[in-house]
C-alpha cells in the first residue's frame, strides 16, 4: 500500500509539474505532509540535499523522499513515478515528429529554428558571462572571461578535447584568475 501511495503521488506530481523543478517543490511538500511521510524539518533538509546534488531537484527530491520513507524500493518507486510522465510525453512527441519528419513544412520550420536557438544561447552566454556589460567592458575580468571562452571553444572544436576536461580546466582557470 505504501509503495502504491508513493508511486501515485509522484506520478500525479510528474504529470502536473510545469515550470521547472523549483515550481514543483510545493506540490511535493503538500503530498509529503498529506501522507505524513516526513516532518517539515526533514522535508527541508531533503530538498536542500536534492538542490545540492547533480540533476533535477524534483527528481532528486522524489528519490530522497522515497528512500527515507521506504528504503531503496521506495526510492525506485518515487523516481519511476515522477519520471514516467515526462518519458511518456517525450515518446509520444518523438513518435509524432518521426511521422512528420518527411513533411517539408516541418523540415523548413526546424531549419528556421536553428538560428534563433543559436542566438538565444549566445545571448544567454553573454549575459551569464557579463551580467552588467556596460560597467565591465574595459575591465581585466572581461578580457580574462573572453580568453577562457575562446580557449574553451578552440579546445573543443580544433583539438577535440572532451567537454568535461574543458569544463574542469576552465574552472581551474577561473580559480587562478579570479
Contacts of 172 by beta carbon, 8 Å cutoff, 6+ apart = none
Q: In angstroms, rounded to a whole number, what is the distance separating the alpha carbons of residues 121 and 154?
A: 18
**What's the whole-number average pLDDT of the chain?**
89
- What is the C-alpha end-to-end distance of the chain, expressed in Å? 54
pLDDT value at position 156?
95
Among 2-6, 12-16, 78-82, 116-120, name the one with the lowest average pLDDT.
116-120
Indicate the pTM of the whole model.
Answer: 0.64
Confidence of residue 21 (pLDDT cuts 50, 70, 90): confident
Model confidence at 138: pLDDT above 70: no
Mean pLDDT, residues 67-89: 96
Burial of 169 (0-12, 13-18, 19+ CB in 10 A): middle
Residue-wise pLDDT tens digits, 122-137: 877 776 666 665 655 6
Q: In angstroms, rounded to a whole number, what is the distance separating the alpha carbons of residues 128 and 25?
A: 26
Amino acid at each position: 500500500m505504501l509503495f502504491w501511495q508513493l508511486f501515485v503521488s509522484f506520478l500525479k506530481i510528474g504529470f502536473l509539474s510545469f515550470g521547472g523543478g523549483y515550481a514543483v517543490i510545493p506540490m511535493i511538500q503538500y503530498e509529503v505532509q498529506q501522507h505524513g511521510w516526513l516532518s517539515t524539518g526533514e522535508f527541508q533538509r531533503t530538498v536542500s540535499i536534492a538542490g545540492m546534488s547533480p540533476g533535477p531537484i524534483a527528481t532528486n527530491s522524489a528519490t530522497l523522499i522515497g528512500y527515507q520513507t521506504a528504503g531503496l524500493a521506495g526510492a525506485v518507486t518515487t523516481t519511476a513515478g515522477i519520471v514516467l510522465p515526462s518519458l511518456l510525453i517525450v515518446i509520444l512527441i518523438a513518435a509524432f515528429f518521426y511521422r512528420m519528419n518527411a513533411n517539408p513544412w516541418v523540415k523548413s520550420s526546424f531549419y528556421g529554428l536553428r538560428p534563433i536557438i543559436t542566438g538565444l544561447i549566445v545571448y544567454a552566454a553573454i549575459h551569464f558571462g557579463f551580467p552588467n556589460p556596460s560597467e565591465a567592458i574595459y575591465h581585466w575580468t572581461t578580457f580574462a572571461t573572453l580568453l577562457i571562452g575562446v580557449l574553451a571553444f578552440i579546445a573543443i572544436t580544433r583539438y577535440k578535447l572532451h567537454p568535461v576536461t574543458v569544463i574542469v580546466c576552465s574552472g581551474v582557470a577561473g580559480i587562478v584568475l579570479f
